[in-house]
Amino acid sequence: MSVIITVAPTGPIATKQDNAWLPTQPDEIADQVAEAYAAGATVAHLHLRDRNDRPTADLSIAARTVELIRERCPVLVQLSTGVGLSVPFEEREQLVELRPEMATLNPCSMSFGEGEFRNPPAGVHRLAARMQELGVKPELEIYDTGHLDACLRLRDEGLLVEPLQFSIVLGVRGGMAATAENLMMMVRRLPEDAAWQVIAIGRANLELTAIGLALGGNCRAGLEDTLYLRKGELAQGSTPLVARAADMARALDLTIADVDSTRRRLQLPR
C-alpha cells in the first residue's frame, strides 16, 4: 500500500510573526497547497483565517480558498472543523456544507494548551450524521486513548463508515505526550482496516513522523504541526516539510500515493 501525504499549511495558532512563510489568506494557502501537491501531498488539511489573520469558519473564505486550490491542482480537500479554539462549535460544523472530500471530526472536548477545545457529545453526533448524509469523509482526530473509544462508539451507532481514518495526535498539552510508546499503544488498538497517520506537534514531529511511516502509517507535514525544519531553522513554508516526508517514505522503500490511490484507500466517492 502506498503512503498518503497530507499537507497542513496553516493551522489555528501560529502567526506570521512566528514564521513569515505561514500562509493565511486564500491565495497564499492555495499557492502553498499547489506546491505541496507537486512535492507529493494528495490531501490538503485547511484552516482559514480572516483578513486580520484570526481563525474563522466563514463559509465564503473557505469556498474561495477551495476554489483557488481547485484552479491550481487536483489535491483532495479536507476542511478542519476544529477551526480554532475561539470559534463556537455551531459555526465550525457549518463548513461541511461546502461538501469537501473530507473534514475533520474531533470526538471529545479537552484542554488544549492554555485553552479549551469544545466538542460537545450532541454536536459531535450531529456533525457525524451530517457528514454521512453529505458524503464527507471524516478524519477522526484522537488526542487520547478514550477518544478512540468514542469514535468506535460512533461507528457502532452507524454514524461512521469503514474504513475509518484516524489522526493520532501526539504532543498537545491536554492530550497524549509525543512518545513512541503512546503511538504504538494507539496503533495496536485501531480497527484492522483503519487508515491512520501521526500528527506530532512541535519538537517530536520528525521522529514520530518517521516512526509512523515505519509502522505502516500515512503522514502529515506542514507548518500547522511544526514551524521548524530542524532545530533553529524555520521551514520556508510547508513544501520543504512535505518533500522531506516524501523522501523519508521513499528511503523506506514505500511509494507515495497519487490522488486516485488516495481516493481508493479512503473509499472516497468519486
Question: Interface with ligand KMH by CB under 6 A: which residues?
Answer: 11, 80-82, 104, 106, 141, 169, 172, 199, 201, 224
Which residues inside 63-92 make contact with Zn ion, applying CB under 5 A? 80
If one counts every other C-beta atom within 10 angstroms of the C-beta of residue 97, the result is 13
DSSP 62-125: HHHHHHHHHHH--PEEEE-S---TTS-HHHHGGGGGG--SEEEE--S-EEETTEEE---HHHHH
Residue whose CB is less far from ligand KMH, 10 or 239: 10
| Contact of residue 159 among ligand KMH, Zn ion, none (CB under 5-8 Å per partner type) | none
- Residue 88: CB atoms within 10 A of its CB come to 11
Compute the least distance from the CB of residue 78 to Zn ion, in Å.
Answer: 9
6 binds Zn ion (CB under 5 A): no
How far is Cα 79 from Cα 101, in angstroms, rounded to an integer? 8
Identity of the residue, 110 or 213, whose beta carbon is nearer to ligand KMH in the bound complex:
110
Nearest distance in Å: CB 79, Zn ion: 9
Q: Tell me phi and psi for residue 35, to 5 degrees.
A: -65, -45
Q: How far is the CB of 8 from Zn ion (least distance, A)?
A: 6
Residue nearest to Zn ion (CB): 80
Spell out the SS3 assignment of 193-231: CCEEEEEECHHHHHHHHHHHHHCCCEEEECCCCCCEEEC
Partner whose binding site includes residue 172, from ligand KMH, Zn ion, none (CB under 5 to 8 Å by kind): ligand KMH
Looking at beta carbons, which residue is closest to ligand KMH? 82
Distance from C-alpha of 176 to C-alpha of 81, rounded to nearest angstrom: 21
Binding partner of residue 169 among ligand KMH, Zn ion, none, CB under 5 to 8 Å per kind? ligand KMH
- In the bound complex, what is the minimum distance in angstroms from residue 218's beta carbon to ligand KMH? 14
Residue 25 near which of Zn ion, ligand KMH, none (CB within 5-8 Å, type-dependent): none
Are 202 and 226 spatial neighbours (Cβ–Cβ below 8 Å)?
yes
CB 5 within 8 A of CB 242: yes
What contacts 38, CB < 8 A, 6 or more positions away?
73, 239
Closer residue to ligand KMH in complex, CB, 172/178: 172
Residue 45 or 265: the one with the smaller Cβ distance to Zn ion is: 45
Binding site for Zn ion (CB under 5 A): 80
